[in-house]
Amino acid sequence: MILSSTERKIIHNSIRDIQDFPKPGIVFKDITTLLNDAKAYNVLMNHLCQRYKEYNLDYIAGIDARGFIFGAALAQMLGIGFVPIRKKGKLPYTTISEKYSLEYGIDEIEVHLDAFSKIPHAKVLLIDDLIATGGTANAAAKLINQAGAECVEACFIIGLNFLDGQNKLKEITNVYSLIEVN
């Protein structure tokens, strides 16, 4: 399902740009204004539900923390389970983890070892608010696959094309971004 130009405009206009955050020269895409705009959030979630209802997904996996907001709601709409992918040390049970590079160092995310074990070869949609350089998303897609599931697509509300993260992620899974920023 393709997002109409009217729907795209509603979602795009609900996202606020914050200049020089978290540091000078960066334009932060603030989704809190999307979340508190009932019409825009409804348009977004209905679009995602329509897009993914025919994928026969078993789970939605959301990246800590903004991916939880969209992922848990979408999982409920589709009647499937939600799996959190968290920063290292935040999950209480046995986990597997994946390290990834940041512009200023190394970070690590993890998922429960048995997160997808109820359904053999589970089909999983990965979701987050934004993809920039793709480090976190790449690590998350790898974790899903390492846990015995299949990351069938990674979905982002915003894709920053000028940082090339989407192209790197396409080597692992399909990628869909609603709003493209060049």
Catalytic residue among 66, 108, 150, 180: 66
Nearest to 98 by CA among 61, 148, 135, 60: 135
Q: CA–CA separation, 181 vs 158, rounded Å?
A: 7
| Dihedrals phi, psi of 11, to nearest 5 degrees | -65, -50
Distance between CA atoms of residues 83 and 119, nearest Å: 13
List 159's β-bridge partners, or say none.
131, 180
66 is catalytic: yes
Report the distance separating Cα 158 and Cα 98, nearest Å: 23
What is the phi-psi region of residue 156: left when phi exceeds 0, alpha when psi lies from -120 to 50, beta otherwise? beta
DSSP 8-state class, residue 52: H
153 flagged as catalytic: no
Catalytic pick from 98, 103, 110, 171?
A: 103
Q: 10 Å Cβ neighbour count for 55?
A: 12
Three-state DSSP class for 147? Answer: coil
List the catalytic residues: 66, 103
